[in-house]
Amino acid sequence: MTKNFVGLCFGVLCFALTACGSSTDSKKANTPDTTTKAAANVAQATPTGGADTSTTPAPALGGKVPPPSVILGKKEVPILCYHQIRDWKPTDSRTAKDYIMPIADFKAQMKMLHDSGYHTVLPDQLYAYLTTGAPLPSRPVMLTFDDNDEDHYTVAWPELKKYNFKAVFFVMTVTLGRLPHYMSKDQIKELYTAGNVIGSHTWDHHSVKKYQGKDWEIQIDKPTKQLEAITGTPIRYFAYPFGLWNRQAFPELRKRGFIAAFGLADHRDDTDPLMCIRRIIVAGGWSLKTFNTAINRDFK
């Protein structure tokens, strides 16, 4: 039982994180609190939010999507990406530590989000917001966890529950059955049943930019079917390994039923921004101040 897959992930993800850190955008320090009304389905996740009785239109699966300029013109929702949530070991390399969030730090981050009035949102809410203008709760944030590490279930999920937070778990299915380092099918099912979202993250973390021939079937079709069998529901959201995408991937994902896909801190594509929604990696070692600054600064 090894963590080779994550090791691989770390190595190349480092590239993406570096790209993120080198960003020189003059991003405005904007606090995403412009909407104060929560729609009915938001109230379920945020019972203390001021819900009204309207309903958020169901995401138009395969339906009409507004022009890219409309989506790109909307205020971005901060989306955070986590990998392992555990304390550092002496053997962890400096690069690896970027992808390993010490438990106390993670707890402090969740508490800070809660105490600051943030509400977690899920991809259907984000999709409805971007495509129909459906309202979001005040201070929306999305929490995402990549690669199926077991500590997502054993460490992160109990913290999320404390604050009635929900999250998205992007699973690479090569890890299924690789206990105890990775979540089991039962654990994934439990997260889904509790109101979280399960997304696809390929079979073994190969970049979509390199797919040829049967790769789409191996990396996308079969893994997605596996996740659908676990959850009993269609899987509509995808996260690119290493955050790497190209335009050729968009139609391939769409024809497989995905309605949105998540990258990392790279720019969004101006022809299909739903297929390259931005996230930032919360790096292990960040102070709470850095965490707070990143959430406010890195999303326009």
Q: With binding defined as CB under 5 A, does residue 150 bind Zn ion?
A: no
Q: With binding defined as CB under 5 A, does residue 80 bind Zn ion?
A: no
Is the separation of the CB atoms in 106 and 80 below 8 Å?
no
| Shorter beta-carbon distance to Zn ion: residue 9 or 42 | 9
Q: With binding defined as CB under 5 A, does residue 147 bind Zn ion?
A: yes
Supply angle C-alpha 82, 30, 161, rounded to 5.
35
Q: CB under 5 A: which stretch of 33-41, 66-74, 140-148, 266-274 binds Zn ion?
A: 140-148
Size of residue set near Zn ion by CB under 5 A? 3
Q: Which of 232, 80, 224, 94 lies closest to 165 in space, CA to CA?
A: 80
Q: CB under 5 A: which stretch of 33-41, 141-149, 152-160, 217-225 binds Zn ion?
A: 141-149
Is the separation of the CB atoms in 142 and 199 below 8 Å?
no
Q: CB under 5 A: which stretch of 27-35, 70-78, 147-155, 250-258 binds Zn ion?
A: 147-155
Q: Tell me the three state secondary structure of residue 132.
A: helix
Question: Which residues, in sequence order, are CB contacts of 226 under 8 Å at separation 6+?
Answer: 173, 176
Q: With binding defined as CB under 5 A, does residue 159 bind Zn ion?
A: no
Q: Tell me the three state secondary structure of residue 182.
A: strand
| Shorter beta-carbon distance to Zn ion: residue 9 or 183 | 9
| Shorter beta-carbon distance to Zn ion: residue 99 or 127 | 99
| Shorter beta-carbon distance to Zn ion: residue 42 or 282 | 282
Supply angle C-alpha 54, 58, 64, rounded to 5.
120
Give the nearest distance from C-beta 240 to Zn ion in angstroms.
8
Q: CB under 5 A: which stretch of 26-34, 138-146, 177-185, 274-282 binds Zn ion?
A: 138-146
43: tokens are: 């109230």
Task: Select the residue interacting with Zn ion from 5, 6, 9, 249 (CB under 5 A).
Answer: 9
Question: Which residues, in sequence order, are CB contacts of 244 under 8 Å at separation 6+?
Answer: 12, 16, 207, 208, 209, 263
Give the nearest distance from C-beta 267 to Zn ion in angstroms.
20
39: number of Cβ within 10 Å: 23
Give the nearest distance from C-beta 276 to Zn ion in angstroms.
16
Task: Select the residue interacting with Zn ion from 76, 105, 124, 146 (CB under 5 A).
Answer: 146
d(CA 152, CA 294): 22
Q: With binding defined as CB under 5 A, does residue 98 bind Zn ion?
A: no
Binding residues (CB under 5 A) for Zn ion: these are: 9, 146-147
